[in-house]
């Protein structure tokens, strides 16, 4: 009936068909399902009379997708419109052009098929009319009968058209889900980007919730989008929490990595603090962290972090490095507790429910200030 369209459909649908065979699996509830639902609902209420909401829906959709656009027979205007409607920005233009190409293909097939049907309809009508005229010589034929025949023919053909529209809609939906789904063209982040993100994560292990500003900065550093940063942290938090043991090594790695800078920062901060309040006794042995003193250092940090930092940069650094040092110290030798209310062991600040204790909840010890990331900017929140 419409072999060309079907070949396109088959090409696009290969995977969908596969997916459909997984119908019985409980996890199967993907976008494909939406496609299917839509198609089913379309099929469900098919042959109706003039107004037919389903037909209108189909027409609207085809129009919206630029398939049954203003002009017949190809044309790039509709494609451009479709692209503009769906994408907007012209980044991954390769994928987009591919998408557009397919859409154009579908549209062309749709129009040629539609035209063919119309033509066939007309031909068939005239043919029947001729037959009737011939018959009218042998028997009386009322105009009513002619009208009825024509009506039947038109209904038949319009139902065929309906099917064509359904198939086209289906093809477009599948095309969309195939090309516009970012999961299908996922790329891993660069090594450096992952490095940066991991560094932030493990040095903020007690509260790995970067503020909006911090996210922006990370995004800039990693050349990814803010939402990608959000995704990354969302995934990281959940996966870390789910299997802390698995991430232990990684945590150690990054903790050690930033330990030196942390120590430096802490030392600097302590020095800073000393200048402000000379009561603090020992300078924190710059370079490496000797455990006996570090406890005091943390105390200092905590109090310092609580209020007095003006040099925002330093304050932020200190807070962020505290976690790192904690981790390192924890790894090196126990140092069981006494400085945080919360256990120092790997599930750092994971509470009983398995969540990171919220910065908003007034916890026993950790400074009730907002997340570390937001320190370095004025922000009202």
> Residue 183: phi, psi to the nearest 5?
-65, -30
Among 3, 21, 24, 27, binds DNA (CB under 7 A): 27
CB of 24 to DNA, least distance (A): 12
- For residues 113 and 131, is the Cβ–Cβ distance under 8 A? no
Q: How far is it, in rounded angstroms, from Cα 289 to Cα 293?
A: 8
- For residues 338 and 276, is the Cβ–Cβ distance under 8 A? no
Among 117, 202, 232, 289, binds DNA (CB under 7 A): 232
> Which parts of 196-225 interact with DNA (CB under 7 A)?
209, 224
Among 29, 137, 139, 144, binds DNA (CB under 7 A): 29
Among 130, 231, 276, 282, binds DNA (CB under 7 A): 231
Q: How far is it, in rounded angstroms, from Cα 110 to Cα 45?
A: 22
Q: Which is nearer to DNA, 35 or 106 (CB)?
A: 35
Stretch that binds DNA, among 77-85, 147-155, 238-246, 317-325 (CB under 7 A): 238-246
DSSP per position, 133-195:
HHHHHHS---HHHHHHHHHHHHHHHHHHHHHHHHHHHHHHHHHHHHHS-GGGG--PPPHHHHH
> Which parts of 57-76 interact with DNA (CB under 7 A)?
none
Q: 107: closest CA among 73, 61, 84, 56?
A: 73
Q: Which is nearer to DNA, 57 or 237 (CB)?
A: 237
Q: 39: closest CA among 21, 17, 58?
A: 58
> Which parts of 241-300 interact with DNA (CB under 7 A)?
241, 246
- For residues 164 and 55, is the Cβ–Cβ distance under 8 A? no
Among 71, 181, 287, 343, binds DNA (CB under 7 A): 181
CB of 162 to DNA, least distance (A): 27
246-to-241, 277, 282, 327, 349 alpha-carbon distances in Å: 10, 43, 37, 15, 17
Residue 127 is inside which H or E element, if any? helix 93-138
Among 31, 57, 96, 176, binds DNA (CB under 7 A): 31
Q: Which is nearer to DNA, 72 or 241 (CB)?
A: 241
Binding of DNA at residue 323 (CB under 7 A)? no
Q: Which is nearer to DNA, 235 or 379 (CB)?
A: 235
Q: What is the DSSP letter of 375?
A: G
Binding of DNA at residue 184 (CB under 7 A)? yes
Q: How far is it, in rounded angstroms, from Cα 54 to Cα 363?
A: 57
Q: Which is nearer to DNA, 196 or 269 (CB)?
A: 196
Among 94, 183, 281, 352, binds DNA (CB under 7 A): 183
List of residues contacting DNA (CB under 7 A): 19, 25-32, 181-189, 194, 209, 224, 227-228, 230-232, 234-235, 237-239, 241, 246, 354-356
């Amino acid at each position: 009936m419409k072999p060309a369209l079907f070949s396109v459909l088959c090409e696009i649908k290969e995977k969908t068909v596969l997916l459909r065979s997984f119908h019985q699996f409980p996890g199967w509830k993907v976008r494909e399902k939406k496609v299917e639902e839509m198609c089913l609902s379309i099929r469900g209420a098919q042959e109706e009379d003039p107004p037919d909401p389903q037909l209108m829906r189909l027409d609207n959709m085809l129009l919206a997708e630029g398939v049954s656009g203003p002009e017949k027979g190809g044309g790039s205007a509709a494609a451009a419109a479709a692209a503009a409607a769906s994408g907007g920005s012209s980044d991954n233009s390769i994928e987009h052009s591919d998408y557009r190409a397919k859409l154009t293909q579908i549209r062309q097939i749709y129009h040629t098929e539609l035209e063919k049907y119309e033509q066939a309809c007309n031909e068939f009508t005239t043919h029947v009319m001729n037959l009737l005229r011939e018959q009218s010589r042998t028997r009386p034929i009322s105009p009513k009968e002619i009208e009825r025949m024509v009506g039947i023919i038109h209904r038949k053909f319009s139902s065929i058209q309906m099917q064509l529209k359904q198939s086209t809609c289906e093809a477009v939906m599948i095309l969309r889900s195939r090309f516009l789904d970012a999961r299908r063209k996922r790329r891993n982040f660069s090594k450096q980007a992952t490095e940066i993100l991991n560094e932030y994560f493990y040095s903020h292990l007690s509260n790995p919730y970067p503020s909006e500003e911090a996210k922006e900065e990370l995004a800039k550093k990693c050349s990814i989008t803010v939402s990608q940063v959000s995704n990354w942290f969302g995934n990281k938090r959940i996966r870390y929490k789910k299997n802390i043991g698995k991430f232990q090594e990684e945590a150690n790695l990054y903790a050690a990595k930033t330990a030196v800078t942390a120590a430096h920062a802490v030392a600097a901060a302590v020095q800073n603090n000393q200048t402000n309040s000379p009561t603090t006794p020992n300078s924190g042995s710059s370079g490496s962290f000797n455990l006996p003193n570090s406890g005091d250092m943390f105390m200092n940090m905590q109090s310092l972090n609580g209020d007095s930092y003006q040099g925002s940069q330093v304050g932020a650094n200190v807070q962020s490095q505290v976690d790192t040092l904690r981790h390192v110290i924890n790894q090196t030798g126990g140092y069981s507790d006494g400085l945080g209310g919360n256990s120092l062991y790997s599930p750092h600040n994971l509470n009983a429910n398995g969540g990171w204790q919220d910065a908003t909840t007034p916890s026993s010890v950790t400074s009730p200030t907002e997340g570390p990331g937001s320190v370095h900017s004025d922000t009202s929140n």
